[in-house]
A and B are shown apart, each in its own frame.
Chain A
Amino acid sequence: MKTIVIGVIGADVHAVGNKIIEHVLTEQGYNVVNVGVLSTQEDFIHAAIETDADAIMVSSLYGHGEIDCKYMRENCVEAGIGKVKLYVGGNIVVGKQDFKEVEQRFKKMGFDRVYPPGTNIEDAIAHLREDLGE
């Protein structure tokens, strides 16, 4: 069973999507470790280490995702889990920006998959299967 750490990063309290993601992933046969809302990078990373997670799915809804996610890949490398898959989604930046550019920026930060607002979590599951070789 693959283990996925999920949560909402930074000072972000949007809790509804997080619960839905937990529900859907669990239903699809994943071991879901939910660090919940208001989580720091450290919370995600520590959880991933102890649970030997295969992927971390970061949600950010309130527009400050870019600041909150800065150096997350570097911090994973530093903590010895550099190979973990990093996904991010929600409303990761403020307002309507060209998503291609946003995606590029987050990919440069080391995220493997970057999702625009309104993405169905099912779409990401297809990517999970592919990336985790299921």
Chain B
Amino acid sequence: MSVHLLVDFGSTYTKLTAVDLEEERIVGTSKAMTTVKTNVLDGFNNAMDKLKNTHPDMKEITAISACSSAAGGLKMAAIGLVEELTVEAAKRACLGAGALVNTVFSHHLSRKEIKQLKNADIDIILLAGGTDGGNKECILHNAKKLADAKLSVPIIVAGNKDAQDEIEEIFEASNIEYYIVENVMPKLKQLNVKEAKEVIRQIFITKIIEAKGIKKAEEQTGEIIMPTPEAVLIAAELLAKGHEDVEGFGELMVIDIGGATTDVHTIGAGFPKRSEVIFKGLQEPFAKRTVEGDLGMRYSANALVSLVSPYEFKQYSSYQHDIGEAAKKRHENVDYLPESDEEKEFDRALAKICCDYSMSRHVGQVEVVYTPLGNMYYQTGKDLTDIRYVIGTGGVLINNENAKDILREVNQKSNKKLELRPTDPIFLIDQLYILSAMGLLGQKYPKLAIKLMKRHLE
């Protein structure tokens, strides 16, 4: 019993983290290009060689755990009834399981939407709608449409319990691969995503990994147990809550800026902090993740700059050249590395926008309602004003000398007064890039994972 190896098959890099269980320390980390197109094991072996070369005295590796976001990660479609209710609940189940939700529909599916689903690049569909005992007409309609469409992706049914038997018959008759789980919103505004998340993970492990050509890795690593973003969420939750006598950090946020997406995770209840503020809408998950598919440094650079006007862009940066050109260069060349100060400045601006915009979409909002009796305040989403720690991770932040400066964009802003953003958090950087590894390690050794995070987040 000595070294536990944590492996993250990322979209760009395969990253290894070796942990010495007895000495309770990180022995070393290494990375190599992910090689899904040829043989995913090549990348793994390259990283392994590097690790062994830099740490020749490393003890024997006795266990390996792995997660993956390679080959596009896990992509899902979420379908529900009312946008603010079961659609939102379905989305949260997908996001919490580490998926990117790129197709979302409410109410009755139309022919056009079915076509969109057919053409979309998705791995799993989550079908919700209706509280238990509530509306079942809509989810039945949608199940029939999905069955008629003969989609080849698995469908998780997480809607009104009363419709389950009929949906089972519909899907059986059409040979659809389906899984029936508990309703994601069994009662009005009550969120229940645990079982749906588990089944998403199961399908990911058994099917998606294989379809994406990552299964081969398991010859060396044993079972890949979860999508990478879920591992990060688990790490964040561990670090916040602590475990037994190892104390946690309390409420915190993790922000991960990548080439294609920006992920934000928050751990905390986020209830209204003032008595005159009333909470509205669906219950918020204690560990919440949101993903922005249009906020990223490379692949999504075009989409990102189209969100901001040139005037707005100037608020983030002193960059003087053509913004569109600079974005296009990054979109078309996702491995691009800036060399000049100018280009570094442009990247910094992109990162700041990712931070700022993803924050606007993640945090709760207060809405003032003017009533006959004066002003009232409604809160939707989480109040994160008191969050204590904001942790930056992902290659962009880790390798940037101004990382904390970029992270400051999460803070409360005078022009976004109604957003419940952090006010005065402590900023930390995941300098060794170990968060996903710690989520994996935490499955078996939660205390050690927390200790290592506390030691290495700076």
Interface residues of A (CB under 8 A from B): 1, 3, 10-11, 31, 33, 35, 38, 43, 46-47, 49-53, 62, 64, 67, 80
Contact = CB atoms under 8 A, between A and B. Distances in A.
A50 B371 contact: no
Nearest to A11: B371
Given A11-B372, A11-B373, A52 B130 contact: yes
- For the residues of B in contact with A, the DSSP-based class is loop
Nearest to B369: A11
B355 interface: no
Contacts of A11: 369, 371-373, 376
Contact of A1 (B133, B137, B185, B188): B133
B86 interface: yes
A33 B376 contact: no
Interface in B67-113: 81-82, 84-86, 107
Interface string B353-386: 0000000000000000101110010100000000
Nearest to B80: A50
A22 B81 CA distance: 25
Contacts of A52: 130, 133-137
B135 A50 contact: yes
Given A11-B369, A11-B376, A47-B188, 18 more contacts: A1-B133, A11-B373, A35-B188, A38-B376, A38-B378, A43-B280, A46-B84, A50-B86, A50-B134, A50-B185, A50-B188, A51-B130, A51-B131, A52-B133, A52-B135, A52-B136, A52-B137, A80-B107
Contacts of A62: 373
Contacts of A64: 371-372
A49 B81 contact: yes
Nearest to A79: B82
Nearest to A36: B278
Nearest to A62: B373
Nearest to B129: A50
Contact of B133 (A10, A46, A47, A51): A51
Given A33-B188, A35-B188, A38-B278, A50 B130 contact: yes
Interface in B127-182: 129-131, 133-137
A64 B131 CA distance: 31
Given A46-B82, A50-B85, A3 B372 contact: no
A35 B130 CA distance: 16
A51 B133 CA distance: 7
27 contacts: A1-B133, A3-B134, A11-B369, A11-B371, A11-B372, A11-B373, A11-B376, A31-B133, A33-B187, A33-B188, A35-B188, A38-B278, A46-B84, A49-B81, A50-B81, A50-B82, A50-B85, A50-B129, A50-B130, A50-B131, A50-B134, A51-B130, A52-B130, A52-B134, A52-B135, A64-B371, A67-B372
Contacts of A31: 133
Interface residues of B, number: 25
5 closest cross-chain pairs (CB), A and B = A11-B371, A51-B134, A52-B135, A52-B134, A46-B82
A49 B135 contact: yes
B155 to A, nearest CB: 20
Nearest to B281: A43
A46 B376 contact: no
A33 B378 CA distance: 20
Contacts of B107: 80
Contacts of A43: 280
Contacts of B137: 52
A46 B188 CA distance: 9
Contacts of B85: 46, 50
Nearest to B376: A11
A3 B133 contact: yes
A53 B82 CA distance: 14
A50 B191 CA distance: 14
Contacts of A50: 81-82, 85-86, 129-131, 134-135, 185, 188
A105 B84 CA distance: 32
A56 to B, nearest CB: 13
A25 B280 CA distance: 24
A31 B86 CA distance: 19
